[in-house]
Structure 1
């Protein structure tokens, strides 16, 4: 951080702006002390005198030195501008954070009000508020502050929305942490830099705006004076003594330029975007909540036994869309037993991650989760939220997210984030919780865990962050670990280390594991059972050992064939799945895979096959399960097929 701030003053513009800001602040502090008496000295024998050796900028209509009054006016000008920008920032933070704190419906009203306010030019708003509050310094401060609030509110809304989408914010909400605490603990610290940059630039703009109001007679009133008031007094004598107007005008220009250049330099040095940017388009209102169409339910799901950790029946996840509710997960049913590893595979958009989010209760507020049963260790996850349920989720369920960099708060140390789990859910003291955090980091094979606990997430490598994320899940005594693409963006060596660690934890503590991955090879090696998902539903459920050789659904077989191995013929093109995955908003009436399936017929395009058991441990949803694909047919079979067509 220190190095990033040092980059601000390394450039000529940054150094110049820093020197100017320091000079302006020093002038505001020392000006009235050094020249206050001289600025108020009245000399009726030297009224409206021009520039001279004694009075460099001349005198006013009472013989007072204009240059000294300009120097002394720096304090009031800058203090009032800073008060105005403080009001703008505080009001902007309150309005910008309101959608996050209040929730979707009330937040939408605040967002609409901010959008309307941003549409008006700031100067018009300032003049409007100045008329409302009346002439004077107090009215001008309120006017400029409230006029600048909509811009800061828009900026805050954008920044808060970006951070609120991070995994660690969702995890804090699942743990029962209140929205206000999440805002101050996790959100605001991560948007501080762009707010500081824009506040610095806003201070320069507020200074110019305040001078403008005082020049118009709506700001500081006599006998007090600021730069705008001096400019107003000097403009009447500009043809007699131009310096009377140019001196305070130059002070306003230099001070405003100093703050703006400093803000720009800070933004460039820190890599922070400046300003609110173009207004986002108003999103279409969500469709009214209606009952979703009946889903194809999975059949032949056995009743849960005593060793079942997770029991999911008829799970559906629905989000509002422009044309009506969109079902991203459709009638998914499965169970996970103690010590069992269940893999979920499928292409992007198949509903794998959304299923995991529904299980862990991390679906966004505007999403709807329905199920005939969604139990973790016998506790109904769809029941109303209680402290007992939050504690159970915080200690018995561990979630390993796809990107560990978004799973950790970048402004807090790793050890403190792990320790928070123990203090919040297990009632440990800070010292005990930190000792537990170090122990868990050691357990996930992070060397020198005591020192590493005091480091920030960016100081960890990708593999270490992922192991630390697993360590956070082990702060309690998890019965289930849900790992959503835990090896994404890691090199193969680190991938194997993470998978070995998950396997070791599963064996040591009899922990159930749900592993989500695009890589069918990884799932086949790590898991006991595999769920193949397509278009939001499970199309095949089979033992992992049978995935490569005994998969019966054409989509499952296509996924396996698309992964090259040592026996792949390099002289031929790699196998691919033709076409594109089905959009959840445009699911066809029959089998969703029909348009890409070489075995599809008229029945496939009109009737969606149920997921039924064709053996004790094998379920498949296909009207042509196990039939040979065209590439598997012999020459004689191919001739017969062509003749029949």
Structure 2
């Protein structure tokens, strides 16, 4: 269980976005929460931004202010050390080194920008080609990318610079060529996820030229991560060009950049080391600034859930009735989609009452875990989350602060080692929840951590609190993760296949513990699993998903003999028991679940269903009432 920040990527299309009378709420008037503002809240991002801003100002103002001083020759001040008049000393012509360092900023940054643009343009083109070329040519392009990535970047840069000729032009080309493989690999990976989309296939069928497919359908959908990578590449290009000039392969006199100044001063470094301090510090600060800023921007984009696409692809409001005041979790028409036409979750609706355990079950790939991620605001970029209503404890999730959401929602994941930091002790990680979300002191938080570990039946909790996660068994780690969620007062616990990696004995203990936690705290539990037997044993109500949609919802005690949907029946029939004939093959469901981008207009289960008719293949059935607390989406069952 981990506390999470508010899901900025979630977008309410009803509820908090507009009031019941259609008048925009204050949140809607102000517009979506700014992602850019959150970038500058971290110290590395702020430091990187300040350094980059200073370098930009220096590039503009440096030659104007100190240009004359940088070129002024003084025969009486040759090779001087640091002094009040020359803080960094002078060169072999008596020119002030501090002025030359300040002036060299423009040339150094300009060369770095040129090298980055060359590398980005060549790399993006090379990486995107496999997605539009014929198969044989695509293999050749992919092989070229793999070979370039495997080749050491510095050797590639030096080789290109020597072939192109010594000087700034050769250095820029060399660094550009060295940067290109990284851009090519990133572009190739991103383009591959878009190239299989239906709209790209349709463009190919219509005979759209390859360059137009590349320019209109592929590159625009992968542009943002490539642009973010530019900032980080600028820092690398700056350091690379300085290294080339320092080796004598870059800028040549009378021109000078930071690397050239460092080269000129290196012969005196043991006598007057200050002469190398200025250019070395400038290179280091500029490189650190660009890398910190690029890393911060990339992290900010990864944390957001692609709300950027909302303005382009607005979701129309759907009528979803009055809010349920008694529900801890209320979800209406939750949809998760990704660029390329992939929609893994489609119009999911469910409610969970206080003290209720609801099981979300289905095969791998049915959308269970992604539904949980959307509820917690954890859908990775570039996923887009839309919903008609998503309320936790009666409050729209998009309107909750990080502390409110982190306190009200707790998540238990399948792998506890992914939830626990292996470098930190267990007790310290639990205590951090109370310190951050409840403002507790370190001492009080640690005492509560030990208490929570004992509450989840972890033997000798004080001892285990002082241990690292790898010192605990799998079952102990899962108990510690549950205890982490109980550091607050969660209204909802989302358990995403928490027993999959555990043996049967420990699995039963964890299931019993979850039931006890719900009974003691009154929290609601959304239990996600592919094991319908475990769901039937633990849960009060079962929601069955297939290909991103809910196909049946029914009480758990009616699962064995009251299931109506053919898919639910097939899942139950595939479970072996003591009466199963061991001489016969285990029962299974023929066929495979369709990929999220390949779900047709009819029932997604039709190709695997023995009852399917033409109507099933052409029309999608809606969930309708089929009995007490039971709803089914099947033409043959409800007709």
Tell me the equivalent position of 1:309.
328
The alpha-carbon deviation at position 596 of structure 1 amounts to: 0.4
Which region of structure 1 is more displaced relative to structure 2, 370-379 or 568-577? 568-577
**Structure 2 residue corresponding to 1:539, chosen from 551, 564, 568:** 551
Does the 8 Å contact 2:373/2:379 carry over to 1? yes
Tell me the equivalent position of 1:352.
368
Matches of 2:624 and 2:178, distance apart in 1: 59
The alpha-carbon deviation at position 212 of structure 1 amounts to: 7.6
Aligned-partner SS, 1:573: coil
The 5-angstrom pairing of residues 327-346 of structure 1 reads: 327-346=343-362
Residues 1:566 and 1:210: Cα distance change in structure 2 (over 3 Å):
same
Matches of 2:480 and 2:621, distance apart in 1: 43
Does the 8 Å contact 1:577/1:596 carry over to 2? yes
1:528 aligns with 2:540: yes
The 5-angstrom pairing of residues 179-578 of structure 1 reads: 224=267, 291=313, 303-321=322-340, 325-383=341-399, 389-578=401-590
Does the 8 Å contact 2:329/2:353 carry over to 1? yes
1:598 aligns with 2:610: yes
C-alpha distance after superposition, 1:317-376 (max 9, x if no partner): 11111xxx3211111111000000000110011111111111111111311111111000
Does the 8 Å contact 1:114/1:153 carry over to 2? no
Does the 8 Å contact 2:125/2:184 carry over to 1? no
The alpha-carbon deviation at position 410 of structure 1 amounts to: 2.0
The 5-angstrom pairing of residues 134-173 of structure 1 reads: none
Does the 8 Å contact 1:129/1:147 carry over to 2? no
| Structure 1 gaps, min length 5 | 1-90, 96-107, 135-139, 162-198, 228-285, 628-645
Does the 8 Å contact 2:565/2:633 carry over to 1? yes
Does the 8 Å contact 1:552/1:626 carry over to 2? no
Tell me the equivalent position of 2:158.
123
User: How many pairs does the alignment contain?
Assistant: 403
Residues 1:288 and 1:313: Cα distance change in structure 2 (over 3 Å):
closer
Residues 1:563 and 1:290: Cα distance change in structure 2 (over 3 Å):
farther
Relative to the length of structure 1, the TM-score reads: 0.55
Residues 1:328 and 1:111: Cα distance change in structure 2 (over 3 Å):
farther
Relative to the length of structure 2, the TM-score reads: 0.55
Does the 8 Å contact 1:313/1:372 carry over to 2? yes
The alpha-carbon deviation at position 291 of structure 1 amounts to: 3.9
Matches of 2:436 and 2:631, distance apart in 1: 41
Structure of larger gyration radius: 1
Matches of 2:179 and 2:514, distance apart in 1: 48
Residues 1:399 and 1:602: Cα distance change in structure 2 (over 3 Å):
same
Residues 1:612 and 1:452: Cα distance change in structure 2 (over 3 Å):
same
Matches of 1:223 and 1:505, distance apart in 2: 67
1:581 aligns with 2:593: yes
Matches of 1:606 and 1:525, distance apart in 2: 36
The alpha-carbon deviation at position 602 of structure 1 amounts to: 0.7
Does the 8 Å contact 1:344/1:514 carry over to 2? yes
The alpha-carbon deviation at position 224 of structure 1 amounts to: 2.9
The alpha-carbon deviation at position 548 of structure 1 amounts to: 1.1
Residues 1:362 and 1:130: Cα distance change in structure 2 (over 3 Å):
farther
Matches of 1:360 and 1:110, distance apart in 2: 39
Matches of 1:332 and 1:403, distance apart in 2: 25
Matches of 1:319 and 1:547, distance apart in 2: 33
Residues 1:288 and 1:317: Cα distance change in structure 2 (over 3 Å):
closer
Higher relative contact order (CA 8 A, sep 6+): 2
The alpha-carbon deviation at position 477 of structure 1 amounts to: 0.3
The alpha-carbon deviation at position 593 of structure 1 amounts to: 0.4
The alpha-carbon deviation at position 448 of structure 1 amounts to: 2.1
Residues 1:599 and 1:156: Cα distance change in structure 2 (over 3 Å):
closer
Aligned-partner SS, 1:489: coil
Matches of 2:581 and 2:354, distance apart in 1: 41
RMSD: 4.5
Aligned-partner SS, 2:487: coil
